[in-house]
Structure 1
Amino acid sequence: MGKIIVIGSASIDLVVQTEILPEAGETVMGKSFFTNPGGKGANQAVAAARLSNEVYMIGAVGDDDNGKQILSNLEQNNVNTTYMDIIENEKSGTAHITLFDDDNRIIVVPAANNYVTAESVLPKLENFSAGDIIVMQHEIPESTIKDVVDYAIDHDMKVILNPAPYRKLANTIIDKVTWLTPNETESELLFDNQVDDALKAYPHKLIVTKGASGAMYYSDSQQLVEGYKKQVVDTTGAGDTFNGALAVALIENKPLEQAVAFANLAGSYSVTGLGAQSAMPYRKDLE
């Protein structure tokens, strides 16, 4: 079986729970505060590694205590960190998360994640083979994504691109990736609210996640793969869990509908605990 290579961000999440969302200039009392390892790349790597073997992460952390915590957490979750860089005199990335009304608002400070450059990443990819799946997100430089996609095409590797957080994405990249997995908001921004037309234009490629409602893609017709409803505690990391699980199902050569259903199920588990990674399921949970 092939390998999964997650190229992306690794950060520490700084999370505040509040029952009142402050207006500009207003101070309110929060309910709780906690920190967790996070970053979309690390989250997706952990999600995949809890469901499969042979998951590698390519990324960067700072030479600080947060960086040590990030690497330790990846290793404890069976993610191979051989290709993670430690950047001297730089801080590790952070995500500042506010939990309010069963949803989240996030501000990301990339820091060391800005060092996940093509010059750093491409030599590491020489250790992988045709048929392996690369997973990327938008918390690393756009130039890195472009060059990695070109490398993957030249070496018969497959690419899942999760275009989150949203930024403009060149049509040439959309055309080249194997699968594109925006959520509803990101898909509307990417395709100027013409999501139905985009689904038809990119059959078997564009997979739009819709939270508890499931995920949609186009085959011979528009397909909605139903989601699974569970008690929501924290939605942070649900999309990352979906993408990690999707990579696992696809590397196992599941048909797309089955792969999306598997990813939906994994994502539904992830919302049942606090923090991006705490409730990510293990394989036994899904069987």
Structure 2
Amino acid sequence: MRIFVIGSINMDLVIQSQKYPKLGETVTGFGFMTNPGGKGANQAVACQKSGASTVMVGAVGDAFGPELIQTLQHYGVDTTHVKSHDSVSSGIAVITIAEQDNAIVIDAGANALVDIHAIDEALLTASPNDYVLLQNEIPAKAIQYALRKAKALGLTTVMNPAPAKPLDDADFKYMDYLILNQSETEFYTHLYPITTKEILEASSILKRKGVKHTLFTLGALGSAYVDESVHWVDAHTVAVVDTTAAGDTYIGGFMARRAEGQSIEASMRYASAAAALTITKKGAQQSIPDQASVTLFMSQSKI
């Protein structure tokens, strides 16, 4: 079993500050670093670190391209289907960390060149028990094609619609799993879920669109899944250092456990622990914990 992650590969340019600048204001920062990221690459690393055999499908450019590929390979991710382009930069994310949160500006760069030919080339090597994981940082046409191609091949599809962008209603019926946070839920359902009632309503809207399974990540409230009732998994209380890759780690951890046959709720519990460990460290991919660290943390946790 493999997880094919079709998505973005970025170099993060990160700086910290005591506060976010107002419009027209310059503030003093500190701790600048470059850090391999991108939702696709982060989720691929999270899947791999949690024990899943993971294939990255994406593109890099001339700026930072070799370094980004080498980093994925360092973590064990298969980069056979990562294309290199000489005429464009790799994707860039400019990240400001302040007030225990982050603000991000993205230039898609080579991520905009991920196309149906690259998807065909990768998915034709897949087996029926494999998974395909997508986000919203590559072109919409590529996402739509990948969802349909994956289902035609009998693969299990997982969509993380981040950042939230318009999707055709017809796209949702090709999603076996939809994993989204509160802001993304509001974008697609006009509900910002906090209560059990709101979770049920949002889940019902998405189910009517055709989604088979919907998971809601709810920040400090934990995460929730609906079948006949709402299943809540609490968030862990930890010292927050950097929240950059928390959502990506949750998704990668969930995918790895679900792909090996664990229940949805058990996979959510693992994912919640993995995300908690991530926010105790700086950075994106290097902050993502491995399976042994998550398992130890869970054994010591009261949740």
**TM-score (norm: length of structure 2):** 0.91
Partner residue in 2 for 1:10: 9
- Which of 194, 199, 204 in structure 2 is aligned with 1:200? 204
Partner residue in 1 for 2:170: 172
Where do residues 37-52 of structure 1 align in structure 2 (5 Å cutoff)? 37-52=36-51
CA contact (8 A) 1:204 1:218 kept: no
Where do residues 10-159 of structure 1 align in structure 2 (5 Å cutoff)? 10-64=9-63, 66-159=64-157
Aligned partner of 2:41: which letter?
A: A
Aligned partner of 2:117: which letter?
A: E
CA contact (8 A) 2:91 2:111 kept: yes
SS of match in other structure, 1:81: strand
Please report how far the alpha carbon of residue 153 of structure 1 lies from its aligned counterpart in structure 2 after TM superposition: 1.2
In the alignment, the residues of structure 2 paired with residue 254 and residue 204 of structure 1 have an alpha-carbon distance, to the nearest angstrom, of 17
Q: Which 10-residue stretch deviates more, 160-169 or 222-231?
A: 222-231
SS of match in other structure, 2:285: coil
Please report how far the alpha carbon of residue 20 of structure 1 lies from its aligned counterpart in structure 2 after TM superposition: 2.3
Deviations 1:143-189 (A, max 9, x none): 11111111111111011110001111222212220111111111111
SS of match in other structure, 1:207: strand
**TM-score (norm: length of structure 1):** 0.96
RMSD: 1.4
Please report how far the alpha carbon of residue 204 of structure 1 lies from its aligned counterpart in structure 2 after TM superposition: 5.8
In the alignment, the residues of structure 1 paired with residue 204 and residue 274 of structure 2 have an alpha-carbon distance, to the nearest angstrom, of 26
Please report how far the alpha carbon of residue 40 of structure 1 lies from its aligned counterpart in structure 2 after TM superposition: 0.4
User: Identity over aligned residues, as a percent?
Assistant: 34
In the alignment, the residues of structure 2 paired with residue 171 and residue 272 of structure 1 have an alpha-carbon distance, to the nearest angstrom, of 38
CA contact (8 A) 2:131 2:156 kept: yes
In the alignment, the residues of structure 1 paired with residue 85 and residue 287 of structure 2 have an alpha-carbon distance, to the nearest angstrom, of 30
Q: Return 5+ residue gaps in structure 2 as ranges.
A: 296-303
Please report how far the alpha carbon of residue 31 of structure 1 lies from its aligned counterpart in structure 2 after TM superposition: 2.6
Partner residue in 2 for 1:285: 293
Partner residue in 2 for 1:223: 231
CA contact (8 A) 1:130 1:155 kept: yes
- How many residues align? The count is 285
SS of match in other structure, 2:232: strand
Please report how far the alpha carbon of residue 194 of structure 1 lies from its aligned counterpart in structure 2 after TM superposition: 6.7
CA contact (8 A) 2:81 2:118 kept: no
Aligned partner of 2:218: which letter?
A: K
In the alignment, the residues of structure 2 paired with residue 266 and residue 20 of structure 1 have an alpha-carbon distance, to the nearest angstrom, of 27
CA contact (8 A) 1:208 1:216 kept: yes
